[in-house]
Amino acid sequence: MPPTEPQPDNEPYSRRTLNQLARGSRRYALPWLSIGRWHKRLLLVGAALLAGLIAILFAIGAELAIAFHHRVTNWAPWLTLVVAPAGFALMAWLSQRFFPGTEGSGIPQAIAASLSDDGRIRRQLLSFRIAIAKVLLTLGGLLSGASVGREGPSVQVGASMMHMLAGRRRHRIASSHDLIVAGSGAGIAAAFNTPLGGIMFAIEEMCRHRSFRANSTTLTAVIFAGLMSLALLGNYTYFGRTPSAIQWHESIWPILMCGAVGGLLGGGFSRLLIASARGLPGQIGKFSTDRPVAFAAACGLGTALIGLATGGLTYGTGYEESKAALEGTSALPVYFLLAKMAVIWLAFVSRIPGGIFAPALAVGAGLGTDIAMMLPGEQGSAMLVLGMVAFLAGMTQTPITSFVIVMEMTANHQMLLPLMATAVVAHGFSKSISPVPLYHALAHLSSRRAERRTVPPQDETAAGQR
């Protein structure tokens, strides 16, 4: 027999190498080729785009509502004595009768839902129905002249859109908590075109009592909500561009004064809002509990009277007044600070839907104006920006979110260090007055209300008897 030809020694090794490469390629390629994974990614992107779209339409509607109210009050200022009480009463009635869970800001509802493990409670606070109703009722409040903002409602809208994905049993995208956190950040980012502010809000406010684990989900939601904003509104800044700045050696006293006064004022106002949410004292509290719609009408009347006394400066979010002051086209009067705080409180205790974030920026602008009058030299709009950060950080106790959002709103990176220092000082003073952060105290109350709505009346009676 002829001798067998020897096989090459390296052939088995080559085959093994090729097989290993093939297996490794399949292992790395299959996740990218998986239809299920791409389906989950597309659902996440779609929910983020929908949240951004609703927030942008909400922003456009808010501008139209404020402009319409401005035209009506310019034509006949006395009409506000009818429009405001009727509007407040109607929004309060609709919210309490047909859309429970839409009252107030919307940020406490999102926080309460993220902290709850009960799906029934989360559905009481976040849903597509609640999101749409929140937008429409807030627009109704702005048409009535209420001093409410759209940032809190935008957070609830974003959280509701993302939370719709949590009900999927198969191909789960993320936990309910992570989706709510991501939607909240997307709502802030789309509402004000502040993507960094949206991420910091998700980390600092929404994850205050839990570790931040929704990093990729949050980034995806914020990016695509921001892209929707860019596509429809362009690359705009909320307050325009304010290039005014103060030198570091000249900013020590402004930082200390704005930080201290803004922290004390914001902390005190936060404590007032928390106490008011728990119940007003005496006959006023009894009136607000027994006849909430009539009480809301009385709050609307108070808002109208303050608006007439200030020449219409206190209606709405305060955006136009703050922007004009930042641009130097008009100045805020000394009394604007307290008058704006009064109308914010009236809208808050009436429990009509609407946020307090944007009106708080207007209060901060008034604070900066008043402090600038007490300091020598011409500080320009820089003092108004410091006042905004100080009051917002003092009221919400979120210093990082506050200075990042204001910096993005004004496109003024030269003020970064003064803004950071002011926010830290304000936060320290605020904690000495109000130990519990505003939105988390309100979230506890929202959670309790949602629990009561999930328990039928007969079950409550049986539980009380036991």
- The residue written with tokens 């789309």 in the block is 190
- The residue written with tokens 């325009």 in the block is 240
Q: Distances from the Cα of 67 to the Cαs of 41, 101, 193, in angstroms?
A: 39, 28, 21
Q: Which residues contact 399 (CB under 8 A, 6 or more apart)?
A: 393, 420, 423, 424, 426, 427
User: Which residue, among 199, 128, 205, 119, has the nearest Cα to 162 in the 3D structure?
Assistant: 128
Query: Tokens at residue 159, please?
Result: 């959280």
Rg (CA), the chain: 26
* CA–CA distance, 405 with 201 (Å, rounded to integer): 9
* CA–CA distance, 169 with 196 (Å, rounded to integer): 32
* CA–CA distance, 134 with 268 (Å, rounded to integer): 28
Query: Tokens at residue 451, please?
Result: 């629990």
How many Cα atoms sit within 13 Å of 58 on the Cβ side?
A: 33
Ordered per-residue pLDDT tens for the chain, 466 residues: 455 555 455 456 556 555 655 555 555 545 555 566 666 778 888 888 888 899 899 989 999 999 999 999 999 999 999 999 999 999 999 999 999 989 988 899 999 998 888 888 888 899 999 999 999 999 999 999 999 998 889 999 999 998 888 765 555 677 788 888 888 988 888 888 888 888 888 888 888 777 666 677 888 888 888 888 878 777 777 776 776 777 766 778 888 999 999 999 999 999 999 999 998 998 998 999 999 999 999 999 999 999 999 999 999 998 888 888 888 788 889 999 999 999 999 999 999 999 998 899 999 999 999 998 887 665 667 888 999 999 999 999 999 999 999 888 887 778 888 899 999 999 999 999 999 999 999 999 988 888 887 765 555 444 444 4
Strand partners, 353: 104
Strand partners, 355: 149
* CA–CA distance, 464 with 112 (Å, rounded to integer): 25
Angle at CA of residue 10, ends 7 and 12, nearest 5°: 80
